[in-house]
Structure 1
Amino acid sequence: MIILVTLTTIAHIASGAIAVLMGAITLAVRKGARSHINTGRVFTECMGLSSLLGAVLGLIKFETFYITFHAGVLGMTLVLSGWILARMQNGHLGTRFVAIGFVNFLNTAGLVAAGFCALSLPEQTLRGFAAADYFFLAGMAGIALANDLVILLRKTLSDRHRIAQHLWRMCLGFFIAAGSAFTGPGASIFPKVVRDSGILSLPELTIILLMLFWLFRIVFGKGRRPLLKRS
């Protein structure tokens, strides 16, 4: 079991590191270009793998890393639904999007339940994490769930709306990966002076600001033309 946990942890960290690197490149290159599509595909694969392994570790070591299970499921649902939206053709999402949305619904409910369970305990923590941590993840999952419902209930989905949905889901998944690497468990590899300086929070802030910039450009940009080609 120890060997399995060690190998899973190494694979989780390695795939997560590649996801962070590919995510940064994807945000930097021209949107819709072949380089954007290729690096985005690698980001999706590595982020999905890292999230899956994180969820597995959260179950194996549930006494200390239970929240990692929910974070992993959230990361997977975000990038997979974002990938489907990028590739969607003829306005047809298919059963995969519905299935991912249902998984996100279950994960959201689990996070809310965990948050209230933590509040009911004397120290207001569950498996080492405060109720606020569970509610924070539940908020992100809830936003995705609400958007899933909007997409499924709409009769048509414009390219502009589709791309905006793709963008924020991928960026939020990237935000989770960067948070894990720089302000979460991954922060332990940095010297204490660096951790205390607050500089490790800059990647997360940068991702959110870039996401807002591109969302504004997609929704209100000149000509409102799609910035991402279907692949």
Structure 2
Amino acid sequence: MLLRWLHITAGLVVIVAGAFALFAKKGSRLHRSAGTVFFVAMVTLTATGAIAATFVHPNRGNVVAAFSTFYLVTTAWLTVKRDVVAARGWYVALMALGFATGLRALSLGVLAVRHGPVDQFPPAPFFLFALVVLSAAALDARLLVAGHIAGAQRLVRHLWRMGMAYWIATASLFLGQAKFFPAPIRASGLLVVPVLLVAGTTLYWLVRTLRGRKAMRSVAKATQGT
């Protein structure tokens, strides 16, 4: 019972803190404070979710979702908190977790294709988790080879991983737990709005960051040419 309420409380904090972090001006005090709360709540949410899905109500799909989200949010957090060289061991460990989780998702997706839904999960979510997490882990490997990340690249890595983790949490609540919302709200289609809003806002910040990077390059080239 305690585990359940801890999971629910952490989930609600994730939704609220994530909204502040996502919509606040990046780098502002509000953004940093909300991001810290979001990170702690997300780690709690995924940890309790993984424990419940493994030991209390076994569900392989929920285990994959929990580990995938944990991996994304921790690598996003590490990106802006620790240099690659200084925290190389953490980067390697998280990369290994990403590959393991992605391969597990892929195997369960194949199993769902062959034999039908796995613990009520159809193939598509497993393949989505596999695509996202394996791609992220491959980028981790590339980062470890480079040994350094800075500027817009660092921000983009942080943004898309945090955004994806928040999107998973939002979709899990508003779509995955739709049965707990009143029937009129379910019938209205409003439950999909927060999910689309998170995806759209994350995309907006990514495009804005990438455009800023392009503009900085143009200025640098113009300066070199004078």
Q: Which amino acid aligns with 2:34?
A: T
Report the CA distance between 1:147 and its aligned residue: 2.1
1:31 aligns with 2:26: yes
Secondary structure of 1:126's counterpart equals coil
- Residue by residue over 1:86-138, the C-alpha shift from the partner in whole angstroms, topping out at 9 and shown as x without a partner, is 113476442112101111110111111111112221xx111222122211222
| Range with bigger deviation, 170-179 or 202-211 | 202-211
Change (3 A) 1:108 1:127: same
Q: Match for residue 171 of structure 1?
A: 163
1:1-231 equivalent positions in 2, closer than 5 A: 6-61=1-56, 63=58, 65-89=59-83, 92-121=86-115, 124-185=116-177, 187-221=178-212, 222-223=215-216
Report the CA distance between 1:200 and its aligned residue: 0.9
CA distance in 1 between partners of 2:94 and 2:169 (Å): 19
Change (3 A) 1:90 1:61: closer
Q: Is the 8 A contact 2:83 2:148 kept in 1?
A: no
Aligned residues with identical type, % of pairs? 28
Q: Which amino acid aligns with 1:223?
A: M
Secondary structure of 1:196's counterpart equals helix
Change (3 A) 1:204 1:76: same
- Residue by residue over 1:66-85, the C-alpha shift from the partner in whole angstroms, topping out at 9 and shown as x without a partner, is 21111000111111100100
Change (3 A) 1:33 1:91: farther
Q: Which amino acid aligns with 1:142?
A: L
Report the CA distance between 1:193 and its aligned residue: 2.2
Report the CA distance between 1:196 and its aligned residue: 2.5
Q: Is the 8 A contact 2:72 2:164 kept in 1?
A: yes
| Aligned pairs, number | 215
Report the CA distance between 1:154 and its aligned residue: 2.2
CA distance in 2 between partners of 1:202 and 1:91 (Å): 41
Q: Scaled by the length of structure 1, what TM-score is found?
A: 0.87
CA distance in 1 between partners of 2:56 and 2:61 (Å): 10
Q: Match for residue 222 of structure 2?
A: none
| Range with bigger deviation, 150-159 or 30-39 | 150-159
- Residue by residue over 1:31-80, the C-alpha shift from the partner in whole angstroms, topping out at 9 and shown as x without a partner, is 111221111001000011101111111112455x3211110001111111
Structure with greater Cα Rg = 2
User: Which consecutive residues of structure 2, in runs of 5 or more, have no partner in the other structure?
Assistant: 218-226
Q: Is the 8 A contact 1:81 1:169 kept in 2?
A: yes
Change (3 A) 1:10 1:138: same
Report the CA distance between 1:10 and its aligned residue: 1.4
User: Which consecutive residues of structure 1, in runs of 5 or more, have no partner in the other structure?
Assistant: 1-5, 225-231
